[in-house]
Homo-oligomer: A and B are copies of this chain.
Amino acid sequence: MAKQPQKIQIIPLGGLGEIGKNMTVIRYGDDILVIDSGLAFPEDDMLGIDLVIPDITYLLENKDFVRAIVLTHGHEDHIGALPYVLKQLNVPVYGTPLTLGILEGRLRENNVAGEKLIPVKPGDQIDIGIFKVGFIRVSHSIADAVALSIKTPIGTIVHTGDFKLDQTPVDGKVTDFHKFAELGDQGVLVLLADSTNAERPGYTPSERSVGMTFDETFRTTRERIIIATFSSNVHRIQQAIDTACKYKRKVAILGRSMINVVNIALELGYLRVPEGVLIDIDEINNYPPSSIVIITTGSQGEPMSALTRMAMSDHKKVEIMPGDTVIISATPIPGNEKLVARTVDYLFRQGADVVYEATSGIHVSGHASQEELKLMHNLIRPKFFVPVHGEYRHLIKHAKLAQELGIPKENIFVTENGSVLEFTREKGCIAGKITAGKVLVDGLGVGDVGNIVLRDRRQLSQDGILVMVVTMDKQRGSILAGPDIVSRGFVYVRESEQLMDEAKEKVRQTLERCELNGVTEWASIKSNVRDVLGKFLYERTRRRPMILPIIMEV
């Protein structure tokens, strides 16, 4: 047996310098523990891409050492890559019941067997390989979220997961401050903590404050109320239902993911609804508008979501009526601002009153603001600190905050995905770099769309494509048919016949010149055609369509 190493490696595979795709590797000798396995949404320039997952080459190369994946909570950016990861890596997955409930749905949708899902409760401590992993209750915008303590032979690591310190959580289950204090007392070697809101001063308001805003709106509204929020925010949904009960309204649930999560949460007891409150969406017209609440997906203005369809008068079952009040209980995720704004506009056009972002109190964040982060740091008092979960600017702000609290600069590591952080009892350093990055998922293809395909899509999206086809006589090198030109996404063809005719003439001349000069290689003929056509079209239109010359031989 190998001698016990005197160091821990921490390797972020995702979540650093980005929002989403969270995944962290903890390694001690031949024992690897993976924390979370999330997806990210594609960036604006990743055209046609459905989602992005972490590159797990490192884990596949060290397959035999991976003991388990432990999950902090059930959001997509923490569990969404598992359907892909578990196909390649058959290891146990630990998580709280709601987290596993949501995960099971995802796995089923992707036809992945999840045989080794092991439920844990906040407060549990479990041996996984050489590690002792503790699950610690925290508040977040989803129920059943935990932080992790990972005891290793040379020290303890604490990973906060996503968290906030809600002093009045909706389910009454407060963050386990005592556990964090106890860990701090015993000594923590490395803290990895959520940086999402490191830019925000003060405290993040309690989830409960949204309930008060709901109450205010319900109290003053005599018509239908439609609430859009994140389907995973079970506490928000609970508050909407509670308020509905108080004001004697029936509740209908709308949108595929909302229905899924509500069913799981009801089944597992995370959502409590009195008998007779929930009705089917088909029944809403059996009641007066003043007795109806609809809880729906679409708070991000997603084009196919229930709320967006309602706003566009395109929903099969619900039509917006003048007098409806729509509450969008969410903030647009960066990049979704315009989609949400468009939905709001369309709802107003339909005659609804819309309560949205600009109005305060209708949404609170699930992430700790600066004062909460400070409290967490002061409870844990780690020797080393690694800010995680955030864009680079968030990590920097979090690092500065830690410095203000007294952690020496050299003990703080602002780093990137793929860095190998190495910690002994005394020292930390960046010891190397392993393969890490973004794997793009497009339809059934995982990783088959790379830079070349994306570059082509970008060019196609800007100025379209022009295909030039000609059939040549192999023997004599003369034109048998064509040249023909077909374009898509370039100009409206019927209005540009003359341009196309001239382009064909240019091609014909080029082909003849090639013949005359004895150019016989197709590659250089094509390149000639591409140059001549490209120049001609740019001069005439100031556009640069992709030019695709195809030469057929007979």
Residues of A within 8 A of B (CB): 17, 43-44, 47-48, 199-200, 334-335, 337-338, 341, 344-346, 348-349, 354, 358, 391-393, 396, 442-445, 448-450, 452-454, 456-465, 467, 469-471, 480-482, 484, 486, 488-492, 495-496, 540-543, 546, 548, 550, 552-554
Query: Please, which residues of chain B bring their CB within 8 A of the CB of A550?
Result: 467, 469, 484, 486, 550
Given A346-B392, A453-B489: 17 more A-B contacts, CB < 8 Å: A44-B338, A334-B337, A334-B338, A345-B392, A349-B392, A448-B491, A449-B492, A453-B492, A457-B489, A458-B461, A460-B488, A460-B489, A465-B488, A471-B480, A471-B552, A481-B553, A552-B552
Query: Please, which residues of chain B bring their CB within 8 A of the CB of A43?
Result: 338
Query: Please, which residues of chain B bring their CB within 8 A of the CB of A480?
Result: 471, 554
Shortest distance from the beta carbon of A443 to any chain B beta carbon, whole Å: 3
Evaluate whether A552 and B469 lie within 8 angstroms (CB atoms) in the complex, with A48-B461, A488-B546 already known: yes
| A134 and B457 alpha carbons, distance in the complex (Å) | 51
Instruction: Give 11 A-B contacts (CB < 8 Å), ordered by A residue.
Output: A48-B464, A337-B337, A346-B392, A348-B396, A442-B463, A443-B463, A444-B540, A453-B490, A457-B464, A457-B489, A460-B464
| A461 and B548 alpha carbons, distance in the complex (Å) | 16
Contact A554 B490 (CB under 8 A): no
Contact B341 A443 (CB under 8 A): no
Query: Please, which residues of chain B bring their CB within 8 A of the CB of A495?
Result: 448
Contact A47 B462 (CB under 8 A): yes
| A457 and B48 alpha carbons, distance in the complex (Å) | 12
| A534 and B464 alpha carbons, distance in the complex (Å) | 20
| A470 and B482 alpha carbons, distance in the complex (Å) | 12
Interface class of chain A by DSSP: mixed
| A454 and B492 alpha carbons, distance in the complex (Å) | 10
Residue from B348, B459, B489 in contact with A456 in the complex, judged by beta carbons closer than 8 Å: B489
Shortest distance from the beta carbon of A401 to any chain B beta carbon, whole Å: 14
Evaluate whether A543 and B442 lie within 8 angstroms (CB atoms) in the complex, with A461-B47, A492-B449, A552-B481 already known: yes
Residue from B453, B470, B488, B554 in contact with A491 in the complex, judged by beta carbons closer than 8 Å: B453
Contact A17 B489 (CB under 8 A): no
Residue from B344, B459, B541 in contact with A393 in the complex, judged by beta carbons closer than 8 Å: B344
| A199 and B348 alpha carbons, distance in the complex (Å) | 14
Query: Please, which residues of chain B bring their CB within 8 A of the CB of A334?
Result: 337-338, 341
Contact A199 B486 (CB under 8 A): no
Query: Please, which residues of chain B bring their CB within 8 A of the CB of A445?
Result: 491, 541-543
Contact A199 B358 (CB under 8 A): yes
| A502 and B443 alpha carbons, distance in the complex (Å) | 19
Contact B341 A391 (CB under 8 A): yes
Query: Please, which residues of chain B bring their CB within 8 A of the CB of A349?
Result: 392
Evaluate whether A348 and B486 lie within 8 angstroms (CB atoms) in the complex, with A444-B541, A492-B453, A552-B469 already known: no
Chain B residue with Cβ nearest A17 = B345
Query: Please, which residues of chain B bring their CB within 8 A of the CB of A346?
Result: 392
| A467 and B550 alpha carbons, distance in the complex (Å) | 9
Evaluate whether A492 and B460 lie within 8 angstroms (CB atoms) in the complex, with A335-B338, A344-B393, A392-B349 already known: no
Shortest distance from the beta carbon of A186 to any chain B beta carbon, whole Å: 35
Evaluate whether A341 and B453 lie within 8 angstroms (CB atoms) in the complex, with A47-B462, A543-B442 already known: no
| A345 and B346 alpha carbons, distance in the complex (Å) | 34
